[in-house]
Amino acid sequence: MKSYKIEWGPYSLELGNKTRIMGIVNVTPDSFSDGGFFFDPDAAADQGQKLAEDGADILDIGGESTRPFSEEVSAEEEIRRVVPVIERLSERVSIPISIDTTKTVVARHAIEAGASIINDTSAFRFDNELPDVAVKYGVPVILMHMKGTPKNMQVSPEYYDLFSDIREFLLDAVNRAVGRGIERSKIIVDPGIGFGKTIEHNLLLIRHIDKFTDLDVPLLIGPSRKAFIRKILKSKAGDEPKPRDPAVETGTQAAVAAAVLAGAHIVRVHDVANTVSTLKIIDEIRKA
């Protein structure tokens, strides 16, 4: 696995020898896994601090659900949700905080509140001014593949060629980012597990994430508690386990292990403590 080093402001993130963990804090009433649990700013900040103490290398704060068929929220509401959480966390943790948003104004307010990474699930397709914010503040960006929008991405997703289609999308996203002035050394890509993908698509992407290594940027993957895991684990009666069911977390750890063995540099998860244990073993196997 190729190693990378991202340096910006007071932060330095080495990727390759040790798999890095991005801990998820959803400040939403409707996210598929933990919507409503951390909608209160104090509860969200407490959760973020716990994830940092559990071993997260990055905290990802999001104020808008991107679950399938979700509705967009206004920038004003998204700012109201995330900024108080980021302000609290920036005083309590020393690891970088990522803002999960597709909107320029949200990213700007979040960075001014203490965030230092932009995680854009649209790869700059929804807001043409967002790259300018990344350049102005000199922060890394995460560019994700999504087929369509959250509202329609799971309506019969099809690909001419899964890997070549997603690779071309990500290559175009990287080139557009560089063209707008973002340093290539500050770009991370994500193939977008669950974002316009069938169960088979997701499994293939996890197993063969190494097919994107020639993009020559770090690879992030986010399988945590996704629907494909719950569907695979459904009972004989056809009932799917809930996102926070222990069986789903076990399934998440299996997906994390497979993705890292295949070449992922960063994993985005809800349960950091379990992931730390998984990666201690997987990283040693990978290096053996």
How far apart (Å, rounded) are the C-alpha atoms in residues 248 and 236?
A: 16
CA–CA gap between residue 186 and residue 143 (Å, rounded): 11
Helix axes 41-54, 75-90, angle to 10 degrees: 50
Q: What are phi and psi of 162, to 5 degrees?
A: -50, -55
> Catalytic residue positions?
226, 268
Q: What are the E-state strand segments in the chain?
A: 4-8, 11-15, 20-26, 58-62, 97-100, 117-120, 141-144, 187-190, 220-221, 266-269
Identify the DSSP state of 240. Answer: P
CB atoms inside a 10 Å sphere around CB 279:
22
DSSP annotation of 214 reads G
Closest CA to 95 of 112, 117, 78: 117
Q: Which of 93, 61, 95 is nearest to 79 (CA)?
A: 61
